Amino acid sequence: MRPRALVTGAGARVGRATAIELARAGFDVGVHYNRSEGPAAETAALCREHGAHAWTVGGDLGTAEGCSAVVEATKTHWDSLHVLVNNASLFYPVAFGDITDAEWERMLAVNLLAPFRLSRDLLPLLTTADGSAVGAPDGQHGLVVHLCDIGADRPVSGHAHYSVSKAGLVMLVKAMAIELAPAIRTVGVSPGQVAWPPDYDADKRARLTRRIPLHRVGTPEDVGTLVRFLALEAHYLNGIVVPVDGGLACRY
């Protein structure tokens, strides 16, 4: 049996690269999307080129119904799950004084409540997964990866709601790591700059790139490679948040 991975927000960018990398490494893949139905179907097709059984599921993770739809689809396709990648996320600026209650709640719902809900509701599948299928030692079965952000420690101006959601996600990594192990490992991945927000102009991109010690931005594939490593080789990592940022988080 091929091991199985569910990746949220996998229609494009980091989610797509992670899904494809896991397929390339031998996983069957569940590809979640919200609005990007067509691109998600393309992601699934690209996963199939690597021999994966790949399926898609839509759902607004800002709602309980959307989260349930993803859980139910996963249970319909599979009776066990090896890797859950909580990648889907909202990111957009609002000046602090203009953040409405509704914006705050939706940001927290998509970025923090949904990863909790999916992790909680997929526990039965994650804990019955056969760890040996992914090369894990006995007793270390499922893996949950939360996509955090180096901004979880250092808030991005104009993004208080986003920064708080990612800071909460870092604590969720740690809370799950102590409570769900040894059955499940939980690891955070914190990108620096691996895919530009579409609204960043050339000047802003150049300015931000100059701050990165490696003098270049990363790629979605840099994240996918790390997630594959976490799933297949890093069996003693649990409760840590790994930066993928070219050293940017070392600056202040």
Catalytic positions, written as ranges: 162
Residues 21, 28, 60, 222: which binds ligand NAP (CB under 6 A)? 60
CB nearer to ligand NAP: pick between 63 and 140? 63
Contact call for residue 12 and ligand NAP (CB under 6 A): yes
| Angle at alpha carbon of residue 149, lines to 148 and 154, rounded to 5° | 130
Amino acid 129 reads A
- C-alpha 63/C-alpha 151 separation (Å) is 25
**Out of 3, 9, 26, 188, the residue judged to bind ligand NAP by CB under 6 A:** 9
Q: For ligand NAP, which is the closer residue by CB, 80 or 190?
A: 190
- Close Cβ partners of 139 (under 8 Å, ≥ 6 residues apart): 131, 182, 183
33 forms part of the interface with ligand NAP (CB under 6 A): yes
In the three-class reduction of DSSP (H, G, I as helix; E, B as strand; rest coil), residue 214 is classed as: coil
Residue 15 is a binding residue for ligand NAP (CB under 6 A): yes
User: Considering only CA atoms, which of 94, 92, 7, 9 is closest in space to residue 52?
Assistant: 7
Neighbours of 47 (CB within 10 A): 28
Residue (141 or 161) nearer to ligand NAP, CB: 161
Write the DSSP symbol of residue 84.
E
Residues 6+ apart with CB under 8 A from 235: 135, 136, 137, 140, 185
Quick check: 191 binds ligand NAP (CB under 6 A)?
yes
Q: Taking contact as CB under 6 A, which single stretch among the options 12-20, 117-125, 131-139, 180-188 is the one that binds ligand NAP? A: 12-20
Choice from 27, 36, 43, 73 touching ligand NAP (CB under 6 A): 36
Residue appearing with tokens 């080129």: 49
Among 41, 183, 195, 237, binds ligand NAP (CB under 6 A): 195
- Write out the binding residues for ligand NAP, residues 63-122 only, by CB under 6 A: 87-91, 110
35 near ligand NAP, judged by CB under 6 A: yes
User: H or E stretch including 37?
Assistant: helix 37-48
Selected binder of ligand NAP within 3, 4, 6, 13 (CB under 6 A) = 13
Q: Which is nearer to ligand NAP, 12 or 183 (CB)?
A: 12
Question: Total binding residues for ligand NAP by CB under 6 A?
Answer: 25
Residues 6+ apart with CB under 8 A from 226: 189, 242, 244
**Which one among 4, 6, 11, 29 touches ligand NAP, defined by CB under 6 A?**
11
* 61 binds ligand NAP, rule: CB under 6 A: yes
Shortest distance (Å) from residue 35 CB to ligand NAP:
3
DSSP state of 134: G
DSSP label at 153?
T
Question: Which amino acid is residue 128, in one-letter code?
Answer: T
Binding site for ligand NAP (CB under 6 A): 9, 11-15, 33-36, 60-62, 87-91, 110, 147, 149, 191, 193-195
